[in-house]
Copies of this chain bind each other. A is one copy, B any other.
């Protein structure tokens, strides 16, 4: 008898894969069961119903994206390093889990009310340290006038958009899969540079 992964764990991983691929509405319980290589009623045994299974997967996904981001933002390092760390983190994460950002953002849009409590309860909000850091840099004349919110938005946009809109961008730019990976990796250096220095020499 081969030592198998726990059934519950197999279900979770299968659900993660199928939900990320098809979204909540598009995912089929049977497909998840097939992917996990078990009977459909197992899904209900371990996770009462589709909603519970989905929420388990979704919450785990959010935890892969958020805490590290806000941890870095709250840390005691210079602004430029924060940006560099965040850019590296998101690009590393994408290589491991390309569908994750699109999944979280789409489902978040579908049921905003449902998740606001959850997100809120995670203590996920822009750290004061970071806001102050941007404010101080602006006040002391080191940065052009900008709010912490907008600064944050710029960094996250430049990182995540190419991951979320991958298929559209890849089609428009006519890149192969490998070329797209290269394209993304180039951005590790481009993003901090554009954010801080802009393009004009």
- Interface, chain A (partner B; CB < 8 A): 22-26, 102, 104-106, 108-110, 112, 115-116, 119-120, 124-126, 141-144, 146, 149-154, 156-158, 160-162, 164-169, 171-174, 183, 186-187, 190, 193-201
Note all chain B residues with C-beta closer than 8 A to A195. Answer: 194, 198-199
Please determine whether B197 and A198 come into contact, CB atoms closer than 8 angstroms: yes
Give the interface SS of chain A, mostly helix, strand, loop or mixed: helix
Residue of B nearest to A101 (CB): B165
Distance between Cα atoms of A196 and B104 in the complex (Å)? 31
Find the residue from A24, A153, A166, A196 having the highest chain B CB count within 10 A.
A153
A157 in complex: contacting residue of B102, B158, B198, CB < 8 Å:
B158
Q: Which residue of B lies closest to A157 (CB)?
A: B161
Number of copies: 2
In the assembled complex, how far is the CB of residue A49 from the closest CB belonging to chain B, in whole angstroms? 17
Contact A153 B162 (CB under 8 A): yes
Q: Which residues on B sit within 8 Å (CB–CB) of A23?
A: 23, 25-26, 106, 110
Which B residues touch A183, using CB under 8 A?
A: 149-150, 153
